[in-house]
Amino acid sequence: MRIRSYFHVGLWCALFAVFLVKSIPIVGPALMENRIGPVEANRSIDAYLRALTGIDRGSEKLPDTFQRLSKEGPLVIFVQDENAQSEFLGMMIGYVSWPREVRMIKVAGPTVEKELAEIKPDSVAGLVFCSVNPPEWLGKRVRLGSSIILVPVTEASP
């Protein structure tokens, strides 16, 4: 019985030692990452938009821009299929454009011609391209940071 007890203690001591030896080099540096703050209401949205598009205070600027579009009609957001960054950006646009209705279109091919052909211009307020290049013939473009291009289809009357 004593041998069994020694084995039990030895086994668990060894397991815990290996556990800690493996964990500490992973957990330690992770705890040291980043600094506290800034203590801002839209801290997470702003941090992501700044990192992905270079826009400062994107949580305020983007909704302001979208408000200038017609009150009617959804915002159509084009994102690259299988591109996590583009899709995340599209979702962020969907997030900040609330309560406007949004439509997310994943673009599989190199161009968006096919997808654009299916959109009736008078039924949408604007087109947003997230890390997707709009076709050259598409009219007025508004660049919102490095990866977002807005094409207003209908603008709010003054």
Partner 1 sequence: MIVLGLFAALFTIFVTGLGVTMSIFARTGRFNLIESVCLGWLLGVGIVSLLLWVGGMFCSGFVLQAIVTVAGLALGILGWRAKQKADAQFHFPRPTNVTEWTLASIVLIEIAVLFFVSFKHTLGWDGLLNWELKARYAFLNGGAIPAVYYSSAGRAFSHPEYPLGIPFTELWLYLWMGEPHQFWVKIIFPLFYAACAPLLALLVSRLSGKRWVGLLTAALLPFVPSISASPGGIVVGYVDVPLSVFYLAALGYLLLWFKTNNAHFIIVFAACSALLPWIKSEGIILWAVLVLLGLGLSFSKRRVAQFLISIGPGLLVILGWRIYLKLVHLWPHSDFARPSFSLLRENAGRIHDIIGILFAELSETVHWSIFWLLAAVAVVYLIGSRKLEKLVLAAAVVLPVILYALIYLCSTWPSYSAHMTSSVPRLLLHVMPAGWLAIGLALTQPKDQNRHL
- Tokens 């949580």 belong to residue: 59
Give, as ranges, the residues between 11 and 40 that touch partner 1 (CB under 8 A).
11-12, 15-16, 18-20, 22-24, 26-27, 29-31, 33-40
> Binder to partner 1 among 68, 88, 119, 154 (CB under 8 A)?
88
Distance between the two ends of the chain, CA-based, in angstroms?
89
Q: Does 119 bind partner 1 (CB under 8 A)?
A: no
User: From CA 70, how far away is CA 89, in angstroms rounded?
Assistant: 22
How are beta strands 148-152 and 75-80 bridged, if at all?
A: unpaired
Q: Does 42 bind partner 1 (CB under 8 A)?
A: yes
Choose between 11 and 142: whose C-beta lies nearer to partner 1: 11
- Tokens 């190199």 belong to residue: 110
Q: Does 63 bind partner 1 (CB under 8 A)?
A: no
Is the peptide bond preceding residue 99 cis, with omega within 30 degrees of 0? yes
Min CB(58)–partner 1 separation in Å = 13
Q: How would DSSP label each residue in 29-57?
A: HHHHSS------TTHHHHHHHHHHH--TT
Q: Does 69 bind partner 1 (CB under 8 A)?
A: no
Min CB(131)–partner 1 separation in Å = 16
Q: Return the closest-CA partner of residue 89 out of 54, 121, 134, 119.
A: 54
Q: Does 139 bind partner 1 (CB under 8 A)?
A: no
- Contact residues for partner 1, defined by CB under 8 A: 1, 4-5, 8, 11-12, 15-16, 18-20, 22-24, 26-27, 29-31, 33-45, 47-48, 74, 77, 88, 91-92, 94-95, 98-99, 101-104
